Structure 1
Amino acid sequence: MKKPVIAIDGYSSTGKSSISKVIADKLELIHLDTGALYRGITWYALQNCMDESGSINLENLFSSLPLIQLEFRNDGRELILHLNHKDISKEIRSNEVSDHVSLVAKQKEVRDFLLQYQRSLAEKGGIIMDGRDIGTVVLPNADFKFFLTASIDERTKRRYHELLSLGIEAEEQQVKENLIERDKIDSERDIAPLKQAEDAIVIDNTSLSKEETIESILSYIQKI
């Protein structure tokens, strides 16, 4: 029997990736954090495609896309993102990447570059993919679709503590402002905006623990 394809979309810092990892382990699925792919390209751009004003030169980035090789490798515990054979799993979580990733992610050239890669990974089933347009664009025929949301204050707290745990200095107000701006950019972009798929199950986990959110998602999947 073919294992399911599961799409989890939602706002930043609703726990999409960490929750998806646990569900993948429980159901023996492959987990793909698509946000990490966009962060990987953003990190590449910050290293290689800056102009004299300190902004990302998008045309330079687009012409460089064929030079970018993104790959998830299993280190025995989780999938680690490598860019051109370099582990960049910590670098992509920096504030600098967070400040620029929405600009990069809304570019049609970048989304087209990653679309087929994501779809090809899901063809055989047995995958859980999280992001912002998985249920609406990348995997519109997914067996299960979920949309995670939470209050901005709760998401700020989660993101702030995540950064501190990674040893990254942060100010809570700056984190909040970054999330608000990112929500706006992601929701209003012309190409594949962040939005709930019509057939997605919405879970507001403002007052739910990570474990409770996981159990809620599993309760829907295990009904089948």
Structure 2
Amino acid sequence: MIVVIDGPAGSGKSSTAKAVAANLQIQFLDSGALYRVATLVYLNSREHNRSFFEQLEESEISFYFKKEKFHAFLNGQDVTEEIRSMDVSDHVSEVASDPKVRAYINDLMRKAVKQDVYIADGRDLGTAVFPDAELKFYMIADLDTRAERRYNEIKGSDPEVTLEEIRKNIAQRDEKDSNRDSDPLKKADDAIEVNTSDMTFEDQVAFISKVIRKELSKQIKK
């Protein structure tokens, strides 16, 4: 079973999905982190003057979820913190908009969820990657709220970053993600919208957990 949470950057979908996964004892898949790993491959290929796609196809991307943290690895090296840098953030929308990259990451995710119950977050999971997902959520929040959340998330690993830089980056990503030709950011017709601007974190986790529990109960009775 796969449950998806889509939404723009900083809407709270990743932190919420992780908390829901821990709360319900199910698996978590962070699609955004996987695109960030691909972006890291892109930056490395540019630095070493190599073909990006050639290097991506030769790379081994792996991951696991433990103690409410999604750990990402590139060729056996833990890059969980590195992929949250501003350099990666500045290029991830550009890399993620490429149809070849999307096909590569989508295939990686579809293979991962064939077993067990997963909750995944992203921008086009409910429309492009998992259109038949049992449950779909679409999380939104105003730009200032999202910028502050993202700033609090990364300031520890990148102390020189400013709130205004984060706000500008998110606004640019909104524009790129919503207008890209390949699988743009949009709400699936059958998704449940969750506006988190005025919700506490505990409230949004509790709401989504309740809906999933109900669906899991229905699946068990089948």
Counterpart code for 1:68? S
How many Å separate the matches in 2 of 1:62 and 1:167? 28
The offset of 1:223, in angstroms, is 3.2
How many Å separate the matches in 2 of 1:216 and 1:149? 15
Asked whether the 8 Å contact 1:163–1:169 carries over to 2, the reply is no
Could you say what the CA RMSD is over the residues aligned between the two structures, in angstroms? 1.7
* 1:94 alignment counterpart: 85
* 2:42 alignment counterpart: 45
Q: Which runs of 5+ in 2 are unaligned?
A: 216-222
Alignment of 1:120-159 (within 5 A): 120-159=111-150
2:8 is the counterpart of 1:17: no
* 1:78 alignment counterpart: 69
Deviates most, 71-80 or 167-176: 71-80
* 2:102 alignment counterpart: 111
CA 172–89 in structure 1, closer or farther in 2 if over 3 Å, else same: same
How many Å separate the matches in 2 of 1:77 and 1:219? 19
Question: In structure 2, which of residues 17, 22, 25 is the aligned counterpart of residue 28 of structure 1?
Answer: 25
TM-score by length of 2: 0.91
How many Å separate the matches in 1 of 2:192 and 2:94? 28
The offset of 1:75, in angstroms, is 5.4
How many Å separate the matches in 1 of 2:152 and 2:7? 19
CA offsets per residue over residues 179-209 of structure 1, 9 Å max, x none? 0000000010010111000000000100111
How many Å separate the matches in 2 of 1:177 and 1:167? 16
The offset of 1:51, in angstroms, is 8.4
Question: In structure 1, which of residues 156, 175, 178 is the aligned counterpart of residue 169 of structure 2?
Answer: 178
How many Å separate the matches in 2 of 1:5 and 1:125? 9
Q: Which runs of 5+ in 1 are unaligned?
A: none
Q: What is the percentage of aligned positions where both structures have the same residue?
A: 36
Asked whether the 8 Å contact 1:10–1:148 carries over to 2, the reply is yes
CA offsets per residue over residues 74-117 of structure 1, 9 Å max, x none? 55653310000000001100011000000000001101111111
Asked whether the 8 Å contact 1:94–1:168 carries over to 2, the reply is no
Counterpart code for 2:197? T
Runs of 4+ residues deviating >6 angstroms: none
Counterpart code for 1:43? L
How many Å separate the matches in 2 of 1:74 and 1:201? 25
How many Å separate the matches in 1 of 2:182 and 2:37? 19
